[in-house]
Structure 1
Amino acid sequence: MFLRLALLVFLPAAVAAQQMDHSEHEMTVGTTGVVMNENRDTLPRGCTEVSRDHSFTIYAGREYADQQHGMMFGMSEHEVQVEPCSRVEITFVNEDGIRHQWMVHGLPKYLYPAGMFHIEAMGEQTQKGVFIVPPEDKTYLIHCDMAQHMEKGMRGQLVVGKGSGDLWSVPGISDDYYRFPYLSARSAYVAVFLALAGFLATFWLAGKRK
């Protein structure tokens, strides 16, 4: 009994501590926010030089929430397009009174621990960060990792080169929900018609038996 109680009390705390361990990340912490895994100079494998320098200013807050139902937060740019091997500077302007983040996932882990680049701006603050993208054509996820912020609209995509296809549920870019390709609209209408015909036939046969 005592062992079970101890596990219930201490195990969740241990798991949470492990999940929040950012010791492997390169962090810059200031009064305006945090930058993780900033990279100004080290080239990803396959890049011989920085192809171009990009600078983007991204605004975040309720004002930029998409008009779709359920959206609460948003960003001024839900899609960022850059050349392979380019250096990208992000100026992240948080116009809300709460914290927001601009995170990229799927970057090479040998250069970006956990495969991510991360900017967090405190409420009504501005935070800058720089990173260099790999040489491959690929689409990367951008989102805010604060609880429910991505689900409420803070989701985007970083398109390097030609990209690898739009991510799903990016406001203003792709559909809210993934639509399965194996069921076309025509097939759906046929399925509904057959189901309705079968339903009516059941009642017709039941009436004849009476």
Structure 2
Amino acid sequence: MKSISLFLFFCFITSPVFAAMNHGGMIMDEKGMIMNHNPDKLPKDCKEISEDVNITIRGGHKFAKDSPGKMFTYDKRDWQVSPCARVNVTFINEDDIRHQFMIHGLPGYMYPKGMFTIELYGKGQKTGSFIVPSRDYTYYIHCEVSQHTEKGMKGQLKVGKGSGDLDSILGLSAPLTPDLYPINNTHYTWLALIFSIIIGAFLIRLLPGLFTSKHSEP
């Protein structure tokens, strides 16, 4: 009996343990976290949930391949929901690095710092919910990992009619500060170009003659 007890105790202390935390709207485990998850608490200006909206968002490098100068983005970057809607977000990270779905501007009395966030430490997916207020507004979505926003991970969520489009969203709006690569050609640049053209033309005329003379020798 003592041997069996020792064996069971050994199995218990050596078995893998995956800790998870779930309290106060925070859900966290070894794969990632959801911050300010809220599936049921209504904003003050909403009497009831107007609709359930299920959104699946994929984030990763491959979605930015057709956008020069960008490194990461979401597969979709623009959404529209009704006022007082419950938005159920499934965020799928398709890269082996951290990515986030973070939305700003939500009521601070419900969402600390006005944010709802899903973060994944690598490939995987998580689902969380938040309820939007009744006003027409455009909410800012991005990935807060350093340089990921600047490299393309940015979007918007319009509630009702929204409050206009945000800037610098791939495929939707013009960048606030566009990437410009001016070429300052001086007179030396033009002289070098003209000289290169002359030398090239001379070689084109000279080389065929050299080959012809070599082949004509006995």
Q: TM over 0.5: same fold?
A: yes
- Give the alignment of 1:146-165 within 5 angstroms: 146-165=145-164
Alpha-carbon spacing, 1:66–1:105, altered in 2? closer, same or farther (3 Å): farther
Length-normalised TM-score, structure 1: 0.71
**What is the SS of the residue equivalent to 2:129?**
strand
Structure 2 residue 142 is matched with structure 1 residue 143: yes
- Give the alignment of 1:43-58 within 5 angstroms: 43-58=42-57
Counterparts of 2:44 and 2:126, CA distance in 1:
28
Aligned residue in 2 for 1:175? 174
Counterparts of 2:73 and 2:64, CA distance in 1:
4
**What is the SS of the residue equivalent to 2:149?**
coil
- Equivalent AA in structure 1 for residue 89 of structure 2: I
Task: Please tell me whether the aligned partners of residues 56 and 89 of structure 1 are also in contact (alpha carbons under 8 angstroms).
Answer: yes
Deviation at 1:167, TM superposition (A): 0.4
Alpha-carbon spacing, 1:108–1:91, altered in 2? closer, same or farther (3 Å): same
Deviation at 1:176, TM superposition (A): 1.3
Deviation at 1:141, TM superposition (A): 0.3
Deviation at 1:66, TM superposition (A): 5.8
Aligned residue in 2 for 1:192? none
Counterparts of 2:161 and 2:70, CA distance in 1:
29
Structure 2 unaligned residues grouped into runs of 5+: 1-23, 179-218
Counterparts of 1:178 and 1:135, CA distance in 2:
32
Deviation at 1:123, TM superposition (A): 0.8
Structure 1 unaligned residues grouped into runs of 5+: 1-24, 180-210
**What is the SS of the residue equivalent to 1:98?**
coil
Task: Please tell me whether the aligned partners of residues 74 and 153 of structure 1 are also in contact (alpha carbons under 8 angstroms).
Answer: yes
Aligned residue in 1 for 2:85? 86
Length-normalised TM-score, structure 2: 0.69
Counterparts of 2:159 and 2:134, CA distance in 1:
8
Provide the aligned length of Structure 1 versus Structure 2: 155
- Give the alignment of 1:28-177 within 5 angstroms: 28-65=27-64, 67-177=66-176
